[in-house]
Chain A
Amino acid sequence: MVMNAITPIRTPAEQALIGAFGALRDSGPASAALEGLRIDGFSRFEASGLPHRRVEDWKYTDLRALMREARPLAGAPDASVLLAAKVAVGRLPRVGGSRIVLVDGFHAPDLADGGALPEGVTVSDLAAAMAQRPEISALVTGQPATRANIAFALNNAFLTEGLLIEVAPGTELGHALDLVSITSDGAPRLVTSRIVVVVGAGASAGIVETHLGPAGVEYQKNVVMQVVVRDGATLEHGRRQIEGDQALHLATLEASVGAEAHFDSLTLTTGAAVSRSQLFVRFAGEHSNVTLRGVSMLKGRQHADTALVMEHAVPHCQSRETFKHILDGEAHGVFQGKIIVQPVAQKTDGRMMSQTIMLAEGPSMDNKPELEIFADDVACAHGCTCGELDADLMFYLKARGIPHKEAEALLVEAFAREAIEDFGGGPLAVVEELREAMLTSVTEWMRART
């Protein structure tokens, strides 16, 4: 008897995703490269279904249980959707220079703002680039660890256009690109977006992503950003996840960092009912450094998972991972961080830290640090703390007349600031603006708690 003859039982969400894939395939032709990518992604999903708690990587974020149904695929926005999006996006202060807007995962060039793209930056259609340029197609396919991930596979399966952002070698951007990805109001849908960023050799660039959408709508969003930082290049990457309160947000950041390059990424998470931020970062060249950082502020019954894999595949690289959770209500935070040091990656220097502050009795936090070290001359460390605000600090502040809530806010801001304040360090003016924007969000979040 053949074991694989067993027909798996599908959940309604899985059935809906299978149906959606069929409909997308029937809707029109795609290039061979795109078609190949979609089929690869779909087959991986079809073979395993939605990941659940018995899948180690998803132990704390049981997607099969959390995603009871799959929303219909979002279509390209029509004129009225674009108009509404324009108004909503207009209310969001620009953090960088040129603004690039995606509506429901589709590039909306008419909503661009902040002047023309700087010299040396090109933005083009990813699907078209894949059809014409094999190297782009190969890049989009992803590294093995990313490809094995089901959120990434689903993004592949439902990819329609995508965006390719290229920074020419040697370009030095004065301001970051302000990328806004908004989900429109109305019936909940599944949004898929894909962005590929290639920072050419010796270039220095910054990108700030902001993800937002309507409150009270159970939309689902699956975003993937793939980044290549070429030799000698610098990329400062900021990310604000301020999705609507009922949203499901799955994000994957894949980065490959060349020699003598620098990549710094900071994610602020305050939105969505359920979110997962996955980072797959790999050193591809020596003498480079990467800093991955995040601040998640969760309340009510929010759930947010950060799952990162930092792979040292070459010698002489330094990585720092600093993640902070601030939990209130009955929120659930998850941090899973894995540093892999390959046998050749001698002189690796890696340091990972996860710290959590509980503002109430109700929240829970799961931490899973992992070090997989196959080289013998490395320095790797991880640490993890979890607790209430320090009672002695609170007493000192209150003894000076500062009310309880305000004292909490001062200490939480200080806690978050540690992850934020040395962000960047590159030449970009935006780094300062982004830091300020992040700290302002922290302050506002604390002020909104009553």
Chain B
Amino acid sequence: MSLLEIKNLTAKLADEDKQILNGLNLTVEKGQVAAIMGPNGSGKSTLSYVLAGREDYEVTDGEALLDGENILELSPDERAAKGLFLAFQYPIEIPGVGQMTFLKAAVNAQRRKNGLDDMPTPEFMKLVNGRAKELGISPDMLRRSVNVGFSGGEKKRNEILQMALLQPKLAILDETDSGLDIDALKIVADGVNAMRSPDRGFVVITHYQRLLDYIKPDVVHVLSAGRIIKTGGPDLALELEAKGYADIVGKAA
């Protein structure tokens, strides 16, 4: 069974009529890193939000099966508990909610849904401190409110920290490279690569080939006007980088 199977997914903004996803089909296998590339406005972020369950979007047709189960009727927290993770393009600041409080709530929510007791605090601290160190997240950042006062790069690393703690089945990285300098990009890519495993899949959404130099995709999909118009190997990304989207989008249309 495929890890993720999206069939004929059609979606729009809840308060607008314009369709953004137009019968999108996509399959991601276990162990696979699937890159999704596409021009601005092609529906890349919409796809990530629709999969994560953001309420601003309305699914009008199709289904998305995670391990064979349609997740589109589930609430965002239920999807997360099933092993779906979205690394946000713009991680949000949450003043007043401490980073540790937040991470602990997330980890324990997942454990409870799996019938486990809350993680004892010392064990949790050890886990967080270890992962944070690998990602270059300072103890000071862990003491602050979630993402408050973090640089763009720190926010992205914080997303990867959360992913590392939650160990999802399927991680969607929404333009994780945007706003990153080359050093930060390497740290983030190392964090992702360390989590690659035969049981886990990744959907890496990006505009640029650059990220894919560090996170090597198994397959590259091109998204345009709300559907996948071309699928290929890693070379497809290089081709897009060289020629731009106009050519390929034009052919499909």
Contact = CB atoms under 8 A, between A and B. Distances in A.
B210 interface: no
B109 A401 contact: yes
Contact of B54 (A395, A401, A402): A395
Given A391-B55, A406-B105, A400 B92 contact: no
Contacts of B73: none
B94 A404 contact: no
A393 B77 contact: no
B76 A399 contact: yes
A415 interface: yes
Contacts of A411: 94, 96-97
Interface in B151-209: 162, 166
A441 B8 CA distance: 49
Contacts of A131: none
Given A393-B92, A414-B94, A403 B109 contact: yes
Interface stretch (B18-26, B62-70, B80-88): B80-88
Given A399-B52, A401-B109, A404-B77, A413 B96 contact: yes
B53 interface: yes
Contact of B75 (A396, A404, A413, A418): A404
Given A403-B109, A410-B102, A417 B96 contact: yes
B77 A403 contact: yes
A414 B95 contact: yes
Interface string A382-393: 000000000111
Interface string A226-266: 00000000000000000000000000000000000000000
B110 interface: yes
Given A395-B55, A401-B166, A415 B96 contact: yes
B94 A398 contact: no
A375 interface: no
A401 B77 contact: yes
Contacts of B138: none
Contacts of A396: 88, 91-92, 94
Contacts of A417: 96
A12 to B, nearest CB: 47
A269 to B, nearest CB: 20
A399 B87 CA distance: 9
Contact of B162 (A400, A404, A413): A400
A402 B106 CA distance: 5
Interface in B99-126: 101-102, 105-106, 109-110, 113
B96 A398 contact: no
Residue of B80, B86, B88, B96 ringed by the most chain A CB atoms within 10 A: B96
Given A406-B109, A410-B101, A410-B105, A399 B80 contact: yes
A395 B105 contact: no
A401 B113 contact: yes
Contact of B96 (A403, A406, A418): A418
B177 to A, nearest CB: 20
A397 interface: yes
A400 B166 CA distance: 8
Contacts of B105: 397, 400, 402, 406, 410
B213 to A, nearest CB: 28
Contacts of B53: 395, 398-399
Nearest to A411: B97
B156 to A, nearest CB: 14
B55 A400 contact: no
A26 to B, nearest CB: 56
A392 B96 CA distance: 15
A297 to B, nearest CB: 16
Contacts of B55: 391, 395
Nearest to B93: A393
A399 B86 contact: yes
Interface string B117-147: 0000000000000000000000000000100
B80 A401 contact: yes
A396 to B, nearest CB: 5
A309 B77 CA distance: 45
Nearest to A416: B96
A390 to B, nearest CB: 9
Interface string A112-127: 0000000000000000
A439 to B, nearest CB: 11
A415 B97 CA distance: 9
Nearest to B168: A401
Given A391-B55, A395-B54, A406-B109, A400 B95 contact: no
B112 to A, nearest CB: 9
Contacts of A400: 77, 80, 102, 105-106, 109, 162, 166
A395 B102 CA distance: 13
A417 B95 CA distance: 10
A316 to B, nearest CB: 31
Contacts of B52: 395, 399
B97 A398 contact: no
Interface in A398-449: 398-404, 406-407, 410-411, 413-415, 417-418
A397 B105 CA distance: 9
Contacts of A406: 105, 109
A399 to B, nearest CB: 5
B166 to A, nearest CB: 7
Contacts of A399: 52-53, 76-77, 79-80, 85-86, 88
Residue of B54, B91, B97 ringed by the most chain A CB atoms within 10 A: B97
B109 A402 contact: yes
B106 A393 contact: no
24 contacts: A391-B56, A393-B92, A396-B88, A398-B75, A398-B80, A399-B53, A399-B77, A400-B77, A400-B80, A401-B80, A401-B81, A401-B106, A401-B109, A401-B110, A401-B166, A402-B105, A402-B106, A402-B109, A406-B105, A406-B109, A411-B96, A411-B97, A414-B97, A417-B96
9 shortest interchain CB distances as A-B pairs = A414-B96, A401-B80, A398-B76, A400-B106, A398-B77, A401-B109, A396-B92, A414-B97, A401-B110
Interface of A: 391-393, 395-404, 406-407, 410-411, 413-415, 417-418
Given A411-B96, A413-B96, A418-B95, 15 more contacts: A391-B56, A393-B94, A395-B54, A395-B76, A398-B53, A399-B85, A400-B105, A401-B80, A401-B81, A402-B106, A406-B109, A407-B77, A414-B145, A415-B96, A417-B96
